[in-house]
């Protein structure tokens, strides 16, 4: 049975909303719940994790009549229970204690999104103990829910940890800051597997953040498994054999840097990159839309090239008009059709069918109007910025290993934002091992003519030069570790850069990430992954001998430093083409657009003293 992260996270949330009572299979409630309604109090991070899985109407179905922010002034509702869903922070714990002391609600059902540290738990207990006697009685339950991740859809999640790439690659980063971030990523992944109820086999490349996260997660899982019973006890009986466990494939963003900056021509990546899709929500100047699995058009067409999406919108609009005309004709509303009184029963039946079809037709028109507006907004940006030209040029470089110099320089000097031009230039830099020096100088001159901040370009150029310098005697399998990450001379080394185009994209636009994941799932000897480390939290600590290396039917692929929809699509295609079928879930510290990621590269370039001038790239909001 395929892993279902979104479904299991939703089950935990629903149980929490029903005051942690087990729900019956038919949707009924467990015995003992008497409250007719309740309040839900959350902090901003928990609002973000809840919004993609439950809408306002869904909350009402579970008895939530009011949703409040913990950091906002709130009035007392003394006769209603309150469900708290917050991260375990000092400020949240103090606010909960103050609310309980003030008697804002009839009872307090406190749910932390992840494991609450013992000092904070003791602080909450001490605060309640020193408050009026009724305070402790109001605190009905305190629970760790382990749902501190944002599940955007069934196969996609984010830990909502912004700017992890900058933090991990900052030349001035303190060891304590690095360790804190690594622990936070490991805790987020622990929440994912606690929700799934499975203990993974962990694979990662040697060195860098992926090995650090793997070691931290392995230690956390081992410590938890020592306690009986634990969060994985029930799952262990359902999946005894090791081949039924999933493999966690850990990567860091430098494994395939070009994918983080390139433009894409598919509908979903375009909406995310150009229009700013966040948490499955899209804000246009005049409208707000939700784009999730409830939108059939989005599900069916979001991975299609933009021109095909435009054609599909036109086709569905024509079909809608045809269906409306048929309804009008059957009910006598169409031109040339008169109401025949001799067939009263037949006409009445047509009228009833028409009335019954109205909701479906109305919903279809709403979806068509939504995507017409989105496509119109996209088309405006495409024309204004020549995005089709950027996509074509980058595709030629990454897939075919060729570039038309005139086209490249024309784009760098012509239409497009400064971010677009910088992304194109970085893609050019990453697509060729040794670009001609004269051509490279022309690229840099074109960027300066367009007044583009050069920090990101110079940062990638410097790291690539360091990689090339130290890669002379190294084999392909070790090129990802040419520059020791711990030294952080200019941040991490860029793996796959000196390996050339074939290591970036192979035939059929298969990403190096997807090819590596496929090899790890097959578990067969393969030069590309033979050097990968293996951590098995259920196995012995020493060595890798005798540990299970596959094959695996299910994988969780996690990108440290920011993921994107291009990689997600490539992994979905891997699912669809493999036999027997495989199941892959893709996650990242955050889901970032190319414009957002190029800003992070620019920030690192400025920290390293590269480039010049103030950055013209505004920081984007992460999800």
Q: Is residue 433 part of a domain?
A: no
Contact 199, 245 (CB under 8 A): yes
Please give the C-alpha separations between residue 205 and each of 243, 254, 255, 588, in angstroms, as whole numbers: 22, 12, 9, 17
Residue in the structure block whose two tokens are 């670009």: 435
Does residue 430 lie in a domain region? no
Same domain, 143 and 209: no
For helices 418-431 and 437-449, give the axis angle rounded to 10 degrees: 170
Whether 479 contacts 499, CB under 8 Å: yes
Task: Return the sign of the alpha-carbon dihedral for residues 76, 79, 84, 89.
Answer: positive
33 and 119 together in one domain: yes
- CATH number, residue 357: 3.90.830.10
Residue at 447 is within a domain: no
Closest by CA to 205, choosing from 478, 474, 469, 466, is 478
CATH code of the domain containing 548: 3.40.50.1910
Regarding whether 161 and 44 lie in a shared domain, the answer is no
Query: Does the residue 484 lie in any domain?
Result: no
12 & 65 share domain: yes
213: which residues sit within 8 A by CB, 6+ positions away? 182, 185, 186, 189, 204, 250, 560
The two structure tokens encoding residue 399: 């897939």
* Count of C-beta atoms within a 10 Å radius of residue 581: 10
256 within 8 A of 514, measured Cβ to Cβ: no
Domain that holds residue 113: 5-148
Q: pTM, whole model, 2 decimals?
A: 0.87
144 and 27 together in one domain: yes
Same-domain status, 112 and 240? no
Residue 499 DSSP SS3: coil
Domain C-terminal end among 385, 409, 429: 385
Q: What is the CATH number for 90? A: 3.40.50.2060
- Residue 110 buriedness (CB in 10 A; 0-12 / 13-18 / 19+): buried
What pLDDT score was predicted for residue 21? Answer: 75
Of 364, 385, 406, the position where a domain reaches its end is 385
The verdict on 163 and 198 lying in the same domain is yes
Q: Which of the listed residues 336, 360, 385 is the one where a domain comes to its end? A: 385
Please indicate, yes or no, whether residues 235 and 306 belong to a single structural domain of this protein: no
Quick one: 58 and 170 in the same domain? Answer: no
Q: Which two tokens stand for residue 216?
A: 């931290």
- pLDDT-flagged residues of the chain (< 50): 26-35, 238-243, 335-345, 473-508, 545, 613-622
201-244 pLDDT, tens digit per residue, is 999 998 889 999 999 999 999 999 998 888 887 555 544 444 47
- For 108-251, where are the alpha helices, taking DSSP H only? 118-129, 133-138, 164-169, 175-196, 208-225, 233-238
What six digits make up the tokens of 313? 């919108």
Q: Which residues pair with 562 in a beta bridge?
A: none
560 and 587 fall within a common domain = yes
User: Quick one: 140 and 185 in the same domain?
Assistant: no
pLDDT at 342: 44
Q: What confidence score (pLDDT) does residue 332 get?
A: 59
Answer whether residue 32 is part of any domain.
yes
496 occurs within a structural domain: no
From residue 374, give the alpha-carbon distance in Å to each of 274, 379, 594: 11, 9, 19
What are the φ/ψ torsions at residue 433 (nearest 5 degrees)? -60, -50
467 located within any domain: no
389 CA to centre of own chain: 27
* Cα 412 from Cα 395, distance rounded (Å): 16
Structural domain total, the chain: 3
Considering the domain architecture, whether residues 93 and 76 belong to the same structural domain is answered as yes
- Residue 423 included in any domain: no
Q: What is the CA radius of gyration of the chain?
A: 27
């Amino acid at each position: 049975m395929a892993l279902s992260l979104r479904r299991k996270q939703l089950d935990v949330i629903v149980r929490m909303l029903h005051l942690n009572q087990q729900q019956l299979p038919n949707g009924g409630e467990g015995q003992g719940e008497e409250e007719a309604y309740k309040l839900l109090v959350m902090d901003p991070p928990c609002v973000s994790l809840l919004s993609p899985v439950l809408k306002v109407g869904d909350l009402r179905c579970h008895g939530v009549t009011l949703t409040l922010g913990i950091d906002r002034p709130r009035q007392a509702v003394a006769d209603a229970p309150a469900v708290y869903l917050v991260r375990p922070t000092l400020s949240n714990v103090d606010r909960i204690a103050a609310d309980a002391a003030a008697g804002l609600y009839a009872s307090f059902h406190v749910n932390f999104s992840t494991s609450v540290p013992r000092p904070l738990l003791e602080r909450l207990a001490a605060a309640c103990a020193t408050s009026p006697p009724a305070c402790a009685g109001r605190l009905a339950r305190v629970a760790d829910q382990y749902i501190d991740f944002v599940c955007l859809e069934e196969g996609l999640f984010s830990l909502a940890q912004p700017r992890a790439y900058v933090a991990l690659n900052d030349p001035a980063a303190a060891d304590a800051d690095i360790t804190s971030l690594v622990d936070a990523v490991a805790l987020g992944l622990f929440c994912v597997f606690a929700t799934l109820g499975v203990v993974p086999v962990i694979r990662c490349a040697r060195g860098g953040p992926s090995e650090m996260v793997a070691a931290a997660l392995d230690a956390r899982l081992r410590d938890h498994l020592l306690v009986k019973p634990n969060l994985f006890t029930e799952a262990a009986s359902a999946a005894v054999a090791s081949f039924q466990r999933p493999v966690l494939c850990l990567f860091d963003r430098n494994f395939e840097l070009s994918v983080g900056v390139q433009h894409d021509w598919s509908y979903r990546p375009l909406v995310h990159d150009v229009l700013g899709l966040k948490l499955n929500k899209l804000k246009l100047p005049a409208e707000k839309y939700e784009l999730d699995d409830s939108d059939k058009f989005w599900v069916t067409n979001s991975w299609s090239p933009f021109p095909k999406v435009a054609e599909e919108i036109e086709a569905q609009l024509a079909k809608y008009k045809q269906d409306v005309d048929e309804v009008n004709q059957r009910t006598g509303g169409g031109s040339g059709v008169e109401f025949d009184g001799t067939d009263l029963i037949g006409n009445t039946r047509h009228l009833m069918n028409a009335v019954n079809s109205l909701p479906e037709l109305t919903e279809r028109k709403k979806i068509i109007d939504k995507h017409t507006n989105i496509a119109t907004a996209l088309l405006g940006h495409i024309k204004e910025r020549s995005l089709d030209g950027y996509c074509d040029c980058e595709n030629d470089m990454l897939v075919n290993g060729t570039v038309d110099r005139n086209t490249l320089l024309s784009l760098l000097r012509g239409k497009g934002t400064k971010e677009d031009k910088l992304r194109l230039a970085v893609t050019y830099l990453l697509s060729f091992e040794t670009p001609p020096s004269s051509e490279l100088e022309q690229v840099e001159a074109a960027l300066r003519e367009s007044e583009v901040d050069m920090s990101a370009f110079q940062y990638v150029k410097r790291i690539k030069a360091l990689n090339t310098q130290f890669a002379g005697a190294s084999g392909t399998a070790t090129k990802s570790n040419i520059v020791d990450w711990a030294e952080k001379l200019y941040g991490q080394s860029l793996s796959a850069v000196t390996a050339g185009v074939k290591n970036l994209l192979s035939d059929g636009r298969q990403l190096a990430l997807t090819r590596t994941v496929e090899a790890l799932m097959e578990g067969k000897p393969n030069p590309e992954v033979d050097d990968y480390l293996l951590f098995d939290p259920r196995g012995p600590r020493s060595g890798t001998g005798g540990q299970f290396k596959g094959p695996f039917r299910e994988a969780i692929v996690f990108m440290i430093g920011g993921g994107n929809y291009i990689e997600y699509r490539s992994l979905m295609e891997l699912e669809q083409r493999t036999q027997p079928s495989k199941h892959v879930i893709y996650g990242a510290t955050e889901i970032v657009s190319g414009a957002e990621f190029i800003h992070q590269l620019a920030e690192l370039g400025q920290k390293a003293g590269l480039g010049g001038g103030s950055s013209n790239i505004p920081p984007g909001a992460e999800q």
